[in-house]
Structure 1
């Protein structure tokens, strides 16, 4: 945010230190906020003159009572406008949802959706939203409106009507951290560091086992600290890889080591052309012309890595229902170890470990018996005498879905972070 800085003080700093800094550095104190996920109080200041942010941060950092002074970054939702071509729910067959739902549906697993406003009254989401939180409430006076992006993402995690979802029996924690002009439009909503930190903090307090994040922006030290703290407490974070294209540097939070980054593919397993690439990409899931819920009880088709991430979060919810004691590391291992390889053999910067498979992930986590083919698969080395041989997670061929969706006219999204 132009002209804004977030300051944390060292333990033992005088109680009036924020006021002193404001006077000395020609700042206006907007708010002071205490967080629990990372025990810290952040003081949000606005620069009162035309000085650059770097100069103000440098000046603040010389004070012995200041632990850190950092920008209040801007993050943007990462999904493209409606495409010209309308397909069907090809994701159902691609992800093997019918087979997986015979074993688990994510029942009672708390999944936090950090996004824009969600239409909780949509028939697909009736009864799905257990709790809600508005991280923007302190900065806005007008009541929030349901937003296309947040409604779509929430439905992909836990829709429970005619729209198929990965975890239809999960408990959604709806967190609004993004807003902007044209709330009915899928793009254009933004949030800042402070809004995202509020969202992560609340999600932790509300008991979220999984958090899905379909937004992208620059690296931020506070964001990384909060994600690491949540991961250490047992929360799995899933994020959209971003839609800034193959030449873009890694975007966050997807590029953070505490996060499972998800890219998008179409009905024929082709990579979404605008998807970010990189070694941090963990998995691929359907994200091109995906059938989604829309505000006002409607439906539509949206594209982008934003649409892929919540489907992986839903699969993780299935795993946690079946085996509640799974750690984030075990969840990641089951998801990536059971993925169907795409692109060059092995993990690669375009598809990660490959395409997510819900039923295979359940088997990889030990939540379902292996198939005959899996049980017969030899391991790389024979086990010692008397020890049982362990089946290798499968690389299943996906059943052919409905007619493929051409990417000759892919929907394009504006690049990730906005200044």
Structure 2
């Protein structure tokens, strides 16, 4: 990814240049491998490698070996400590000049230390939630020399989300720190980038492994949201399956359809290819192209899903921890939505994958027909449950193919939960989580572990438990 290489190079050059110039923080954007309002939980392990120079922090990697705190941990949710305001130049108004301050034009806040930023992100954008009206959005842009690229009222967050562009090349961490000084901003986040979790790739063995009778499987009357690529809605497996669609990136031409077609088909496919929960109504949000999406797009898709009154949301993607996504997931869960996400395909030593690692999200890892773990699956205590995801038959544009990845394991768990809600629609998200944990077939170390979670999904045992 050329953009990430440029950002790494630029950060190293900047660090070298500033070594003699004085204290400042430099940032980079490490590449992510493809793969009520209370205190937010700190669930991600330490493990970031940083290079410490005199008064310079160069954040190079996602993980740290020295136990230092990671950007994105709960300790980072507070505003940076201010540093002294520089002396005003000739002709500048004196500090605190009342003629310069008004509600629409508040006095400038002290400069703050630039924030370190982890994960892959759009290099010239930030996302901000605003406590104010359209005029406030414009005033902030004018005060900090930012472009307003989009703004909308978030259904789940209940506030205005603004995507500001940075036209002058300032690092994202610097702009986030500058925004932290404006009391009209509530949250300030990078526009993080997220990846679909499809690994490189015969019979679909999933029904047998999760103990679900394919002839009795049904998701009728259950609404399921899928946030993914576009789908091939002409595919026979999706005939009558897609109940509603939303394009969260309308300005981007549609080229990718395979991943979304596979996910929707595995959940609710019909005809010759039978999904785990045929009869379910799929509400499909297109939010990925080229395997990539951004935080603003994903939040718009999640808001749309909430507006459709869906019971379940399938999120077969992974990216960095982001405060806005976490708040969106928390709000969705409070609405009673079951959230299912791919644990990630980045390997045993990879950092946690989000949104799977958030509380209230069911993190799914992938196993094969022998119930062995996919070698490149993420590990960690956030892994909740296992399901088939290695060499699983799935629909793709124009036919079917064998696919591998935690993306597809997540879709199978989403389909299984859809069966549970079809059989017992009054059960809530908390009951579903508890039932999955108590009935899973234990794999690996006894009890819940960082490889398999509670174990292999056992649909029959959950259905028996409801009675």
Residue 73, structure 1, aligned to residue 192, structure 2: yes
Contact (CA 8 Å) 1:210, 1:313: kept in 2 or not? yes
**Which SS does the other structure have where 2:442 is aligned?**
coil
1:308-387 to structure 2, matched below 5 A, reads 308-366=409-467
Separation (CA, whole Å) in 1 of partners of 2:262 and 2:133: 47
Contact (CA 8 Å) 1:287, 1:305: kept in 2 or not? yes
Runs of 5+ consecutive residues of structure 2 not aligned to the other structure: 1-121
State the match for 2:320 in structure 1.
218
Residue 178 of structure 2: which of 55, 59, 62 is its match? 59
Q: Kindly state the Cα deviation for residue 145 of structure 1 after the two structures are TM-superposed.
A: 4.0
State the match for 1:49 in structure 2.
168
1:11-410 to structure 2, matched below 5 A, reads 13=132, 15-82=134-201, 87-98=202-213, 101-102=215-216, 104-137=217-250, 139-140=251-252, 142=253, 144-145=254-255, 147-180=257-290, 189-296=291-398, 298-366=399-467
Separation (CA, whole Å) in 2 of partners of 1:265 and 1:331: 21
Separation (CA, whole Å) in 1 of partners of 2:410 and 2:187: 32
**Which SS does the other structure have where 2:195 is aligned?**
strand
Residue 4, structure 1, aligned to residue 119, structure 2: no
Separation (CA, whole Å) in 2 of partners of 1:62 and 1:365: 52
Q: Kindly state the Cα deviation for residue 6 of structure 1 after the two structures are TM-superposed.
A: 1.0
Q: Kindly state the Cα deviation for residue 68 of structure 1 after the two structures are TM-superposed.
A: 2.1
Separation (CA, whole Å) in 2 of partners of 1:258 and 1:67: 23
Q: Which has the higher contact order (CA 8 A, sep 6+)?
A: 1
- For each residue in 1:170-203, what CA deviation from the matched residue of structure 2 results, as whole angstroms up to 9, or x when unmatched? 11111111112xxxxxxxx111111111111111
**Which SS does the other structure have where 1:156 is aligned?**
helix
Q: Kindly state the Cα deviation for residue 69 of structure 1 after the two structures are TM-superposed.
A: 1.7
Separation (CA, whole Å) in 1 of partners of 2:195 and 2:211: 31
State the match for 1:371 in structure 2.
none
Contact (CA 8 Å) 1:106, 1:168: kept in 2 or not? yes
Q: Kindly state the Cα deviation for residue 330 of structure 1 after the two structures are TM-superposed.
A: 0.3
Change (3 A) 1:14 1:130: closer
**Which SS does the other structure have where 1:333 is aligned?**
helix
Q: How many residue pairs get matched? A: 346
* RMSD, aligned α-carbons: 1.3
Larger Rg computed on CA atoms:
2
Q: Kindly state the Cα deviation for residue 19 of structure 1 after the two structures are TM-superposed.
A: 1.9
- For each residue in 1:298-321, what CA deviation from the matched residue of structure 2 results, as whole angstroms up to 9, or x when unmatched? 110110101100111111111111
Q: Kindly state the Cα deviation for residue 212 of structure 1 after the two structures are TM-superposed.
A: 0.6
Contact (CA 8 Å) 1:334, 1:362: kept in 2 or not? no
Query: Runs in 1 of length 4+ with deviation above 3 angstroms?
Result: none
Separation (CA, whole Å) in 2 of partners of 1:261 and 1:348: 13
1:408-419 to structure 2, matched below 5 A, reads none
Separation (CA, whole Å) in 2 of partners of 1:207 and 1:66: 29
Separation (CA, whole Å) in 2 of partners of 1:281 and 1:346: 12
**Which SS does the other structure have where 2:301 is aligned?**
helix
Contact (CA 8 Å) 1:146, 1:295: kept in 2 or not? no
Runs of 5+ consecutive residues of structure 1 not aligned to the other structure: 181-188, 367-419
Change (3 A) 1:194 1:14: closer
- For each residue in 1:125-148, what CA deviation from the matched residue of structure 2 results, as whole angstroms up to 9, or x when unmatched? 1011111111111x32x3x24511
- For each residue in 1:27-77, what CA deviation from the matched residue of structure 2 results, as whole angstroms up to 9, or x when unmatched? 111011111122011111110112111111111111122222211110010
Give TM-score, length-normalised by structure 2: 0.72
Change (3 A) 1:16 1:93: same
State the match for 1:372 in structure 2.
none
Contact (CA 8 Å) 2:255, 2:289: kept in 1 or not? no
